[in-house]
């Protein structure tokens, strides 16, 4: 296959595993349920999976988005900008609105039965003012929309609106813009704006750079796979070993770029050797699972702790794997049912993917 086919097949394959990575990030059972120091085996394993391996997922999606937004390279005209935003109003904005409305409706309908179980620290939807209703689509809860995992979509929409500034910065400063933002990101710098953080800016810009310069990032990742994988393994071990140190966070961040290259490079290698086939509608399945999993996962975890009362490392580790498995199974079933019997609805809520 040629390089463009390799890129397309690699990105198509990666979408679903990366979405599962996002689910696993949200599956980690935190201090609101347990005192982690009392469960060292669970803490170490869940940290490796949710806080190290799965953390490459969101940056990868920003890279893909930045690349495909600018993949034609050349001059970034006003007409091209308008067309790109218009296209994404259906593929990004409309599903964002529909899923937040759906979650709001689910909370509203379930409140009489789940008071104190799901929203114990949040105001009931039935008591929302008009302002709170509107805030639910943006930053109702600690900077997140009511469908909390859609913060990525919100940030993506904002950075796409600001894409002319990204284009000018990359045209003027080239790779130095990436290096400056990357250094600030590694140091923990962030903006004070809910919808623009350093992760959004950095990794969208990385993808945009490859798109503007017409470089194939999959080919680059495949070329760097061996050294990146070695560095990634070393940093993962160091991050886990120094988990109790306050500065281990910097090791965790440093591992993410190496993890991104490793994930993309390995997938490209498998694709090149025909080790897998891309499943039809994979993008639609992935987006549905991403938008669906948040509220069901929260509810499943709370119910599991309420009725099973786990006491040991193995109990909690079992729930850590079982809860997302249940939610993913329900999500896949719902996807196929809706896609089969209500295909137009599925097209709307997945942005035509």
Name the residue among 45, 51, 46, 44 with its Cα closest to residue 29.
Answer: 46
Question: Which residues are 193's β-sheet partners?
Answer: 196
- Provide long-range contacts, Cβ within 8 A and 24+ apart, for 25-34: 25/50, 25/51, 25/54, 25/55, 25/57, 26/149, 26/293, 26/294, 26/297, 27/297, 27/301, 27/320, 27/323, 27/324, 28/320, 29/301, 29/305, 29/316, 29/319, 29/320, 33/301, 33/305, 34/316
Residue keyed to tokens 């006003």: 78
Q: Looking at the chain, how many residues does it have? A: 353
22 Cβ neighbours under 8 A, 6+ residues apart: 54, 57, 58, 149, 290, 293
Q: Phi first, then psi: what are they for 279, rounded to 5°?
A: -75, 135
Look up the pTM and report it: 0.93
Q: How far apart are CA 233 and CA 349, in angstroms?
A: 38
Q: Which two tokens stand for residue 277?
A: 């086939």
> Are 16 and 286 spatial neighbours (Cβ–Cβ below 8 Å)?
yes
Q: What is the CB-side half-sphere exposure of residue 312 using CA atoms within 13 A?
A: 3
Select from 145, 150, 98 the least CA-distant residue to 349: 98
Confidence at residue 268, expressed as pLDDT on a 0 to 100 scale: 94
- pLDDT tens for each residue of the chain, 353 residues long: 788 899 999 999 899 999 999 999 999 987 667 766 678 899 899 999 999 999 999 999 999 999 999 987 767 889 999 999 999 999 999 999 999 999 999 888 877 776 655 545 567 888 888 888 998 999 876 779 999 999 999 999 999 999 999 999 999 999 999 999 999 999 988 877 778 899 999 999 999 999 999 999 999 999 999 999 999 999 999 999 998 898 989 999 999 999 999 999 999 998 888 766 666 677 889 999 999 999 899 889 988 988 888 888 899 999 999 999 999 999 999 999 999 999 999 999 999 88
Tokens of 104: 């709001």
**In degrees, to the nearest 5, what angle opens at C-alpha 332 toward C-alphas 4 and 299?**
125
HEC string for 31-88: CCCCCHHHCHHHHHHHHHHHHHHHHHHHHHHHHHHHHHHHCCCCCCCHHHHHHHHHHH
- Asked if residue 337 lies in contact with residue 344, where contact means CB atoms within 8 angstroms, the answer is no
């Amino acid at each position: 296959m040629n390089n463009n086919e390799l890129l397309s097949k690699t990105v198509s394959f990666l979408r679903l595993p990366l979405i599962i990575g996002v689910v696993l990030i949200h599956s980690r059972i935190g201090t609101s349920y347990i005192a982690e120091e009392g469960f060292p085996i669970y803490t170490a394993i869940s940290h490796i999976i949710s806080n190290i391996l799965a953390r490459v997922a969101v940056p990868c999606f920003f890279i893909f988005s930045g690349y495909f937004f600018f993949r034609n390279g050349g001059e970034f005209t006003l007409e091209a900008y308008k067309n790109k935003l218009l296209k994404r109003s259906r593929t990004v904005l409309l599903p964002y609105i529909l899923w937040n409305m759906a979650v709001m409706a689910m909370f509203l309908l379930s409140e009489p039965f789940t008071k104190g179980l799901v929203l114990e620290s949040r105001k009931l939807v039935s008591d929302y003012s008009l302002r709170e209703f509107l805030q639910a689509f943006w930053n109702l809860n600690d900077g997140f929309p009511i469908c909390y995992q859609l913060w990525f979509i919100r940030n993506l929409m904002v950075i796409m609106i600001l894409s002319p500034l990204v284009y000018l910065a990359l045209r003027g400063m080239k790779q130095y813009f990436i290096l400056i933002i990357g250094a600030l990101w590694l140091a923990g710098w962030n903006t004070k704006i809910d919808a623009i953080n350093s992760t959004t800016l950095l990794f969208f810009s990385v993808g945009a750079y490859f798109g503007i310069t017409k470089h194939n990032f999959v080919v680059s990742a495949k070329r760097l796979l061996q050294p990146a994988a070695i560095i990634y393994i070393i940093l993962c071990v160091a991050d886990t070993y120094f988990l109790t140190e306050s500065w281990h966070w910097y090791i965790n961040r440093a591992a993410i770029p190496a993890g991104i290259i490793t994930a993309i490079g390995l997938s490209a290698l498998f694709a090149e050797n025909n080790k897998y086939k891309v499943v039809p509608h994979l993008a639609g399945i992935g987006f549905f699972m991403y938008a669906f999993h948040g509220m069901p996962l929260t509810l499943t975890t709370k119910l599991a702790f309420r009725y099973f009362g786990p006491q040991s490392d193995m109990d909690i580790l079992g729930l850590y794997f079982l809860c997302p498995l249940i939610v993913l199974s329900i999500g896949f079933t719902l996807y196929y049912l809706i896609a089969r019997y209500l295909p137009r609805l599925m097209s709307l809520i997945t942005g035509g993917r």
